Amino acid sequence: MPAAPRVPLRPLTMWLLLQSLLLACSLRSAAAFPKGCYPSEEEGLKTFRCSNARLTEVPRDIPNDTNKLYLDSNRIPFLPRDAFRDLPLLLELDLSHNAIAGIESGAFRGLAEHLRSLDLSANRLASVSKEALSNLKAKVNLSDNPWRCDCRLQELVRAVDLAAGSAAGIVCDSSAQEEHVGKAFLQLMADTDFCNVYKRTTDIAMLVTMFGWFAMVISYLVYYVRQNQEDARRHLEYLKSLPSKQRRSEESSTISTVV
């Protein structure tokens, strides 16, 4: 009976080793991602999703070839400088429904040339400097935040390109003018220049302060003159009560002093 053909062991061993290495690399990459985050591909774009992942900061291990990044519905409170600097190919960034109350200047540095969509809606933004979003060419959604309607917000709105349909969602949660609360900010901007109002208020406050100081100086001068007049009158009455010779000497002294 002929012997069964032998299966070469070396190619089989190499194949099994290669499969093990690929599996290990895959597991290592998966383990590097934050819990609840995963990569995918949507419409030919590399996507990284971290929606509802209970994140409290922007993850650091995001693949640097990511085109679409979803960080929505988390607990992120703040965006620090260079938060997305390692994502040069990022086109869309969704940060909606977080707890973002502050954005440091330079948080989006490196995204100006490529980013085309930035969603910051439904956060806790009350005031953001225009420098934080300057130079971005992206369509920006700022709706559903507790905005303080003032010159700073006016400068921010004029510095960005608002996403279509999002302008009506920028509503005053607080304002120096009580009647502005609850109203759409862009409608108010049509009739009010918030920066001029601020400047006029500052000028009035400065004038009031200067007038107060001027009034204090005048009051002090009046008090000083009256006090000296009272002292002079008392001194003259004292002189009149002195003997004639001594009185003339004292009067001469008083007159020369006054002169």
**Which has more confidence, 219 or 10?**
219
Residues 110 and 211 in one domain: no
- Tell me whether residue 258 is in a domain: no
pLDDT at 182: 97
**Residue numbers of the domain that contains 61:** 33-192
Look up residue 196 and give its DSSP letter: H
Structure tokens at 66: 């990511």
Whole-number Å distance between alpha carbons of 142 and 167 = 8
Domain count across the chain: 2
Q: What is the pLDDT of residues 189-239, one digit of tens each?
A: 999 999 996 444 444 445 555 656 656 667 666 666 666 766 667 666 665
Whole-number Å distance between alpha carbons of 76 and 74 = 6
Q: What is the pLDDT of residues 28-53, one digit of tens each?
A: 444 478 889 999 999 999 999 999 99
Residues 188 and 219 in one domain: no
Residues 156 and 67 in one domain: yes
Residues 116 and 181 in one domain: yes
Confidence of residue 113 (pLDDT cuts 50, 70, 90): confident
Structure tokens at 52: 């509802």
Residues 128 and 199 in one domain: no
pLDDT at 93: 98
Confidence of residue 24 (pLDDT cuts 50, 70, 90): very low
Residues 212 and 98 in one domain: no
pLDDT at 203: 45
Whole-number Å distance between alpha carbons of 132 and 153 = 12
Nearest of 124, 135, 74, 132 to residue 103 by alpha carbon: 132
- Tell me whether residue 70 is in a domain: yes
- Tell me whether residue 233 is in a domain: no
Q: Whole-number mean pLDDT of the chain?
A: 81
Confidence of residue 134 (pLDDT cuts 50, 70, 90): confident
Strand pairing class (117-119; 147-149)? unpaired
